[in-house]
Structure 1
Amino acid sequence: MVCSLGIEGSANKIGIGIIRDGEVLANVRRTYITPPGEGFLPKETAKHHREAILGLVRESLKEAQLEPKDLDVICYTKGPGMAPPLLVGAIVARTLSLLWEKPLLGVNHCIGHIEMGRFITKAQNPIVLYVSGGNTQVIAFSNQRYRIFGETIDIAVGNCLDRFARIIKLSNDPSPGYNIEQLAKLGTKYIKLPYVVKGMDVSFSGILSHIEELAEPNKRKNKRKKATDEITDEGEVSYSKEDLCYSLQETIFAMLVEITERAMAHCESQEVLIVGGVGCNERLQEMMRIMCLERGGKLFATDERYCIDNGLMIAHAGAEMFKSGITMPLEDAFVTQRYRTDEVLVKWRQD
C-alpha cells in the first residue's frame, strides 16, 4: 500500500493531491487570476503560490483524514514550467520530506498529466494528445518512454488561446480558454485563418498574429469588403468576438486532429487520450471523437478536475514511480524548466 502526496505549481495553479493505492483522497487547488488583458508573470505567480501552499497542504490532509505519518512519499513537479512557481513547490516538498522523514520524488509535469489520464479513463495504450498552456505534443508509448511524434514548433495551443483572450480583453476567470470556448459557441461565421501543419508538427504563432489583426481593425488595411461585413467609420471590416473565437478554435483544433490521426495510423492505435488543460474543451473533444469514430476507434478524456493542472496527477505519477523502485537523493531535488516528456524512463510500464 502506497500513500502519496503530490505538489503541482508549474504555472498559475497551485495544487495538492493525495492518493492511496488508486483511491483519491484529496485534490485541492487554487488559481492565480489576473485582470482581463493581463497574463500571469513568474514573480507574482510564485508569490500567490507561497501564500496558498501551506494552507492547501493542511486542507488536503484534513480532506484525506490523514496524518503526515500515514504518507509514504512526497512528490513535486520538477518541470517543465516557470522557474519561480516551480521552486515554491520544490522547496516546500523538500522541507516536508525532511520534517516528516519521507522519501522525495520529482515528477515530470507532462508524465503526470498522461498517467492521470490513463488512471481516470482506463485507456490501455492510447495515442496521447497533450495540450496545455505551455505544451502541445502528440505522444505514444514505446520501449519504456513516452515518445513525441509531433509537437508545436513555436507557441503552445493554450498559449495561443490565452494570448488571444488578452487581445480581446476576455476575463481570466475561471480561465481565458474557457471563456473563448463559451464565446465560440455563439459564433456563426467561419473566418478563414492560416492552417499550419508541417509533417507531424504544428505552428500557432502566425495564426495568432493574423487573428490579432482581424480583431483590431485599426491596425490593418481593409483589402476586401463584403456586404455581410460590418464596416467601421474608418472603412475597415469588423468581425465579432464570437466569430473570431469560433474560427480560431475550429482552425487550431482541426490541425490537432490531423496530426493525432496521423499518429494513430502510424502506430496502428485505436485509442486517443486527450490530457492537459485545453483537453477540457468540449469542442476539441467533439472533433476528436468524430475522427476516432470514423476510424473505428475510441476517445478518452477527463473533466476539469483532472485535466487542469492538479496535485493529484503528481501524487499518482509519483506513486507509480515509487512502486517501481525509483528513488531520488535530496541533493537532486531541483527544478528543470525544460524537462521533456521523452527524457523520463517509464519503469512502471511495459510494452
Structure 2
Amino acid sequence: MAKDSWIALGCEGSANKLGIGVIRHTSSNETTILSNLRHTFVSPPGTGFLPKDTAAHHRAHFPQLALRALKEAGCSIADVDVICFTQGPGMGAPLSSVAVAARTLSLLWDKPLVGVNHCVGHIEMGRTITGADNPVVLYVSGGNSQVIAYAEQRYRIFGETLDIAVGNCLDRFARTLKISNDPAPGYNIEQLAKKGNILLDLPYTVKGMDCSFSGILASADALAATMDKGGFTPEDLCFTLQETVFAMLVEITERAMAHVGSNQVLIVGGVGSNERLQQMMGEMARERGGSVFATDERFCIDNGIMIAHAGLLAYRTGYRTELKDTMCTQRFRTDEVFVKWRD
C-alpha cells in the first residue's frame, strides 16, 4: 500500500550545537514539525570551542536529547521511516560523533540512513518556513559564507568567502573583547552594536563576487588594542564591524540577484538571525522592487529539523546512504548535492 506520510529523525552536530528534530511529510506535500530540540556547548568568555570538547558534549547529550525529541513528537521508534544526519561540512570530531550516534540508531532500530549536506539543510528549511519561491540565498554562519542560486538541480555558488566565514569573524572578535559566549557570541555582539554610534574605518574587501574577512578582523583587533586612547567604545567597535561586513554581503547578494534576474533574497544560517543584517538586506531588496525572507533563531541557528527535512526530501526520491558511505567530510560543497526533489 502506498504511504501517505513519512517521518524522519534528524541529527545535527556540525559545530557547537547538538540538534535533534522530528518532522512529518505527507503525500500532499504538507510539512509538520513534530519536535525541534537543541543543546549548545558554551565555552568560557574569551575562548572558542575545541573540536574534542564539542564532540564530548554531543556524545554526552545525544541519547537523552533523541529520546526527548521522540517523546515530544509523540512518536515511537516504529513510526520513524528514516534517520538523517549531517555529513558535512563542519568540524570533524563533532560531525563524526553525531554520525556514529546516527549509525547506532540505524542498526538498533533497523532504519535506513540519509546523509545530509548542512548547507542544503539550511536552504530547504528556509524555503519551507518562509515560502520563498526561487530566491537568491545568502548562507551565513560560523563556518560558511556563500551566495547561492538554484539552477538545473544544483544549488550553484555565485560567491563566497575567500578565507574565514563572517560568523567566525564575529565570533573571534567577541573573544578579543572577552564577550560572553552565552547564548552566542554573535548575538551578544549584535546587542552591543545597537548601542554604538561611531563608525570607524575598517577595510572593505569585496573581490568580484567573493569576500575576505580575515583582514577586517585583524584591523578590528588592532583598533580594540587602542580603545583606551581612541575615544571609542566596545559598542562602537561592534557597530563598525557589523556595518562593514554586512554591507559587503549585501553588495555581492545584490550582484547575484541582478545576474539571475531574481527579486527575492533568502537569508539562512546562524548569522541570518541578525536583525541588522535582515534590515540592510531588506532595504536593498525593496529598492529593487523585491523582498527579503528570513527566519528566527529556531531555524536560522543549526538545528536537527533542517537535517530531517532535507534528508526526508531526498529519501522520498529514493536516496539512501549505505553504512559504508556514512563517513563525514569537513569540506562538503553545497553544489555537490544533486537536488532531485526540485524541478
TM-score between the two structures when normalised by the length of structure 1: 0.94
Q: Which residue of 2 aligns with 1:294?
A: 287
Q: Secondary structure at the match of 2:45?
A: coil
Q: How does 1:43-82 map to 2 (within 5 A)?
A: 43-82=52-91
1:253 aligned partner: 246
Task: Give secondary structure in 2 for the equivalent of 1:336.
Answer: coil
2:37 alignment counterpart: 28
What residue ranges of structure 2 are gaps of 5+ in the alignment?
Answer: 26-30
2:112 pairs with one of 100, 103, 126 = 103
Percent identity for Structure 1 against Structure 2: 65
**Aligned twin of 1:6:** 10
Distance in 2, Cα, partners of 1:294 & 1:238: 36
Distance 1:9 1:45 in 2: 9
Note the 1:160-199 alignment, pairs <5 A. 160-199=169-208
Q: Kindly indicate whether residue 38 of structure 2 is the aligned counterpart of residue 38 of structure 1.
A: no
Q: Structure 1, residues 95-128: CA drift from partner, whole Å, max 9, x if none?
A: 1111111110100000000000001001110000
Q: Distance in 2 between matches of 1:325 and 1:195?
A: 46
Whether 1:122 and 2:115 are equivalent positions in the alignment is: no
Of the three residues 148, 152, 161, the one matched with 1:143 is: 152
Is the Cα contact below 8 Å between 1:17 and 1:315 reproduced in 2? yes
Q: Which residue of 2 aligns with 1:221?
A: none
Instruction: Report what 1:220 is aligned to.
Output: none
Shift of 1:136: 0.1
- Residues 265-315 of structure 1 show CA distances to partners (whole Å, capped at 9, x for unaligned) of 000001000000000000000000000000000100000000000000000
How far the C-alpha of 1:238 sits from its partner, in A, is 4.4
Partner of 2:232: 239
State the distance in 2 between where 1:104 and 1:287 align: 40
- Larger Rg, first or second structure (1 or 2): 1
Gaps of 5+ in 1: 218-229
- Report if the CA contact (8 A) 1:18-1:312 is conserved: yes
Task: State whether residues 83 and 337 of structure 1, in contact with CA within 8 Å, keep that contact through their aligned partners in structure 2.
Answer: yes
Residue aligned with 2:328, SS:
coil
Tell me the distance in 1 between the aligned counterparts of 2:304 and 2:157.
24
Equivalent residue letter for 2:17: K
What is the CA RMSD across the aligned residues, in angstroms?
0.8
Q: Does structure 1 retain, via aligned residues, the 8 Å contact 2:198–2:232?
A: no
Q: Give the deviation of 1:333 after TM superposition.
A: 1.1
Contact 1:280–1:304 (Cα < 8 Å) also in 2: yes
Which whole-Å CA distance do the structure 2 matches of 1:62 and 1:280 have between them? Answer: 28
Deviations 1:183-215 (A, max 9, x none): 000001110110000000000000000010100
User: After TM superposition, where is structure 1 displaced by more than 3 Å over at least 4 residues in a row?
Assistant: none
- C-alpha contact 1:214 1:239 (8 A) present in aligned 2: no
2:319 alignment partner AA: I
Q: Distance in 2 between matches of 1:118 and 1:44?
A: 33
- Corresponding residue for residue 308 of structure 1: 301
Q: Report the equivalent of 1:336.
A: 329
Counterpart-to-counterpart distance in 1, 2:137 and 2:230: 40
Structure 1: distance between partners of 2:203 and 2:246 = 13
CA contact (8 A) 1:139 1:150 kept: yes
CA shift, 1:237, in A, is 2.1
Q: Aligned residue pairs: how many?
A: 334
